[in-house]
Amino acid sequence: MNYDVVKEKLHDLIDHAEQDKVMAIYTLLSNEAGSGVAYDEATLNMLEATKENMLSGKEKTYTLEQTIDNIRKHRSSNGV
């Protein structure tokens, strides 16, 4: 399908869609445009330094699996 056909089909779908589906489509498309979050220069510098430290091995990082395992161990040893 070419661009014009797809665009027309989307218009038709949106015109006849339920409200919750239209809202979901809007959320999906608005998130594609960017989060709208702007960081100041100090925050950007801190994030860049943290990234460099992680990549160089100066800071310890954990995989998702390691993090979940650590949380489970903490909860079981603390009765949570």
Q: What's the pLDDT tens digit per position in 33-75? A: 556 677 889 999 999 999 999 999 998 889 999 999 999 999 9
pLDDT of residue 32: 61
In-domain check, residue 80: no
In a domain, 37, yes or no: yes
Which structural domain range is residue 27 located in?
3-75
Is the whole-model pTM more than 0.75?
no
Please give the single-letter amino acid code of residue 4.
D
CA distance 40 to 47: 11
Q: Provide the domain count of the chain.
A: 1
The residues near 22 (Cβ < 8 Å, ≥ 6 apart) are 14
Is 12 within the bounds of a domain? yes
Q: Helix H segments across the chain?
A: 3-16, 19-32, 41-56, 64-77
Check if the beta carbon of residue 59 is closer than 8 Å to that of residue 50: yes
Is the residue at 29 inside a domain?
Answer: yes
> Contact 46/54 with Cβ under 8 angstroms?
no
